[in-house]
């Protein structure tokens, strides 16, 4: 049985004061150990939030990581820097990075590899746009996004990685994929990985992301191939985030 994982993605939100309160609120309500839980915070808050959640079950994550190890790359943050601040996870390939900042399948694969050089678990975000879904390209798009990483990192690298399926049309739009729509793609992703390595497919956590909320999380998480969620908007409120966390399979 795979352990569930719920990850908050705070994106570019919050102040030092508000994120401190948020982290404390989440820790206070985590309760019993029903699954894994993490928050991906803006880089500048890593140190403070890292201090607050130290010795708690809440894990720390970053929202991206550089595609290079070090050097003259102004504005980038390396995996070794994230490691120094205690990051367990780093998102790679979030659709907002792909759309607004030019992250490509190849640079996402490089980021994935960089994270792993520092024992940081990459959370590889994949998913189709509305246009691609309407043209029935969903499966081929996610396969292509996976292939870029498999080609560079090798399938064994997925022993220490998480996949987040996030249909782009569902992110921040209030339009969630139905339980069945999400399950269909999750199942496809798992089967695709199984075609390369059955053991990895059985064990890898595949999260759903895209307008997941307290009132739809339970249905989504009940699906056999959905192992938790990557939560944006609803992770900015400790109560909603905790309700979503409490909706995971136990």
Report, as residue numbers or ranges, the catalytic residues: 94, 166
Q: How far apart are CA 208 and CA 139, in angstroms?
A: 15
Residue with smaller CB distance to ligand PGA, 63 or 138: 63
* Strand boundaries in 93-202, DSSP class E: 121-126, 162-165
- Out of 233, 240, 241, 245, name the contact with ligand PGA by CB under 6 A: 233
CA–CA–CA angle 121, 226, 151 (5° rounding): 45
Q: How far is the CB of 166 from ligand PGA (least distance, A)?
A: 6
Binding mask 31-60 for ligand PGA (x = CB under 6 A): ------------------------------
The answer to whether residue 63 forms part of the interface with ligand PGA (CB under 6 A) is no
DSSP string, 10-38: --S---HHHHHHHHHHHHHH--S--SEEE
The answer to whether residue 175 forms part of the interface with ligand PGA (CB under 6 A) is no
The answer to whether residue 93 forms part of the interface with ligand PGA (CB under 6 A) is no
Q: How far apart are CA 165 and CA 226, in angstroms?
A: 9
Q: How far apart are CA 228 and CA 103, in angstroms?
A: 25
Q: How far apart are CA 168 and CA 187, in angstroms?
A: 18
Q: How far apart are CA 38 and CA 105, in angstroms?
A: 25
The answer to whether residue 205 forms part of the interface with ligand PGA (CB under 6 A) is no
The answer to whether residue 153 forms part of the interface with ligand PGA (CB under 6 A) is no
- Out of 211, 240, 246, 247, name the contact with ligand PGA by CB under 6 A: 211
The answer to whether residue 230 forms part of the interface with ligand PGA (CB under 6 A) is yes
State the virtual CA torsion across 106, 230, 120, 86 in degrees, nearest 10: 140
Residue with smaller CB distance to ligand PGA, 125 or 201: 125
Q: How far is the CB of 96 from ligand PGA (least distance, A)?
A: 7
The answer to whether residue 183 forms part of the interface with ligand PGA (CB under 6 A) is no
3-state SS class at 177: coil
**CA-closest candidate to residue 2, choices 191, 242, 199:** 199
Residue with tokens 């081929």: 140
Binding mask 113-142 for ligand PGA (x = CB under 6 A): ------------------------------
Residue with tokens 């309500």: 29
Residue with smaller CB distance to ligand PGA, 8 or 35: 8
Q: How far is the CB of 151 from ligand PGA (least distance, A)?
A: 25
The answer to whether residue 8 forms part of the interface with ligand PGA (CB under 6 A) is no
Query: Which residue ranges make up the site for ligand PGA (CB under 6 A)?
Result: 9, 166, 171-172, 209-212, 230-234
């Amino acid at each position: 049985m795979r352990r569930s994982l719920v990850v908050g993605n705070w994106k570019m939100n919050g102040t030092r004061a508000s994120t401190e309160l948020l982290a404390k609120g989440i820790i206070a309500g985590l309760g019993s150990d029903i699954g894994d839980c993490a928050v991906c915070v803006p880089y500048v808050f890593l140190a403070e939030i890292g201090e607050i959640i130290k010795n708690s079950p809440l894990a720390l994550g970053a929202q991206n990581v550089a595609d290079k190890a070090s050097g003259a790359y102004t504005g980038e943050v390396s995996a070794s820097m994230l490691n120094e601040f205690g990051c367990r996870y780093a998102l790679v390939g979030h659709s907002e990075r792909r759309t607004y900042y030019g992250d490509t399948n190849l640079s996402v694969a490089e980021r994935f590899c960089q994270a792993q050089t520092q024992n940081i678990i990459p959370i590889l975000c994949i998913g189709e746009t509305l246009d691609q879904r309407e043209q029935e390209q969903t499966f081929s798009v996610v396969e292509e996004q996976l292939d870029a990483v498999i080609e560079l990192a090798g399938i064994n690298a997925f022993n220490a990685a998480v996949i987040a399926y996030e249909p782009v049309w569902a992110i921040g739009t209030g339009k969630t994929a139905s339980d069945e729509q999400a399950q269909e793609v999750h199942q496809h992703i798992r089967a695709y990985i199984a075609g390369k390595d059955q053991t990895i497919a059985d064990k890898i956590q595949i999260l759903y992301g895209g307008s997941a909320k307290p009132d739809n999380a339970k249905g989504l998480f009940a699906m056999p191939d959905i192992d938790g969620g990557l939560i944006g908007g609803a992770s900015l409120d400790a109560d909603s985030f905790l309700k979503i966390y409490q909706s995971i399979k136990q």
